């Protein structure tokens, strides 16, 4: 799988050069402070969301399994004049800050069905008490559309699945959206996505 992603990222900007619009809209309503300013972007790819958040003053950790994507993330951060702590790591091994993060952003991080719930439990563990999870991904109606996402329906997210995986969080948003993606060559055109925001109890 790693080879698949490394080859994909030989081309730059595969999910666009701009941050995801839901990430921007959600994070614009939250100001980083010295006490609450850390965020983690697991499976972050080339760093489109990480670099944007770092420019807004967040202390940003990001990781991805693809070393090619991580190298791009480091380049984009340097050319943007910001620091992103980008790691090449596997989602099932990355430890992160021991005290957790104020924000965890999962964008199109679709895992194999047998490991999805475990991955989502890790995302909960990466949050500090009171921290916020922001997620966007594809939902089952995406299957068959050419605008991106896994071709296995069991890897797609339904509201019921996310409600169950994140039942220990206070869920604020868990909504399917029909949209028109414009995120580089691999997320392009009419799409069915799900947007999710939830807070870990303090």
Distance CA 1, CA 65 (A): 9
Q: Following CA atoms 13, 14, 19, 25 in sequence, which dihedral angle do they give, to the nearest 10 degrees?
A: 160
Choose, by CB under 6 A, the member of 107, 126, 138, 157 that binds ligand SAM. 107
* C-alpha torsion sign, points 42, 165, 180, 143: positive
Any residues with CB less than 8 A from the CB of 144 and at least 6 apart, and which? none
Does 118 bind ligand SAM (CB under 6 A)? Our answer is: no
How many CA atoms within 13 Å lie on the side-chain side of 5? 20
Total residues contacting ligand SAM (rule CB under 6 A)?
15
Does 56 bind ligand SAM (CB under 6 A)? Our answer is: no
Task: For the chain, give the longest Cα–Cα distance.
Answer: 45
Spacing of C-alpha 90 from chain mean position: 14
Does 64 bind ligand SAM (CB under 6 A)? Our answer is: yes
**Residue placing its CB nearer to ligand SAM in the complex, 45 or 100:** 45
Choose, by CB under 6 A, the member of 39, 59, 61, 65 that binds ligand SAM. 65
**Residue placing its CB nearer to ligand SAM in the complex, 51 or 169:** 51
Does 193 bind ligand SAM (CB under 6 A)? Our answer is: no
Does 108 bind ligand SAM (CB under 6 A)? Our answer is: yes
**Residue placing its CB nearer to ligand SAM in the complex, 143 or 170:** 143
Distance CA 170, CA 132 (A): 9
Q: Which stretch binds ligand SAM (CB under 6 A): 103-111, 121-129, 162-170, 188-196?
A: 103-111
Does 48 bind ligand SAM (CB under 6 A)? Our answer is: yes
Does 43 bind ligand SAM (CB under 6 A)? Our answer is: yes
Here the tokens at position 161 are 């699945």
Please state the closest distance from residue 127 (CB atom) to ligand SAM, in A: 17
**Closest by alpha carbon to 117, among 153, 149, 156, 161?**
161
The continuous run of DSSP H or E covering 188 comes out as: strand 187-199
**Residue placing its CB nearer to ligand SAM in the complex, 36 or 111:** 111
Which stretches of the chain bind ligand SAM, using CB under 6 A? Answer: 5, 15, 43-45, 48, 64-66, 69, 90-91, 107-109
């Amino acid at each position: 799988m790693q080879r698949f992603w490394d080859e994909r990222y030989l081309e730059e900007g595969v999910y666009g050069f701009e941050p995801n619009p839901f990430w921007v809209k959600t994070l614009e309503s939250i100001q980083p402070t010295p006490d609450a300013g850390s965020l983690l972007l697991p499976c972050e790819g080339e760093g489109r969301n990480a670099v944007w958040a770092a420019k807004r003053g967040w202390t940003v950790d990001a990781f991805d399994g693809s070393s090619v994507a991580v190298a791009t993330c480091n380049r984009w951060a340097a050319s943007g004049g910001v620091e992103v702590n980008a790691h090449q790591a596997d989602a099932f091994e990355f430890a992160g800050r021991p005290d957790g993060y104020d924000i965890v952003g999962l964008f199109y991080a679709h895992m194999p069905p047998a490991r999805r719930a475990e991955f989502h439990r890790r995302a909960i563990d990466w949050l500090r008490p009171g921290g916020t999870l922001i997620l966007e991904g594809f939902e089952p109606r995406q299957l068959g559309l050419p605008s991106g996402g896994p071709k296995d329906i069991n890897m797609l997210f339904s509201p019921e699945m996310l409600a169950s995986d994140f039942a220990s969080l206070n869920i604020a948003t868990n909504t399917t959206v029909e949209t028109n993606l414009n995120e580089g060559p691999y997320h392009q055109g009419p799409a069915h996505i799900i947007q999710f925001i939830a807070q870990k109890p303090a």
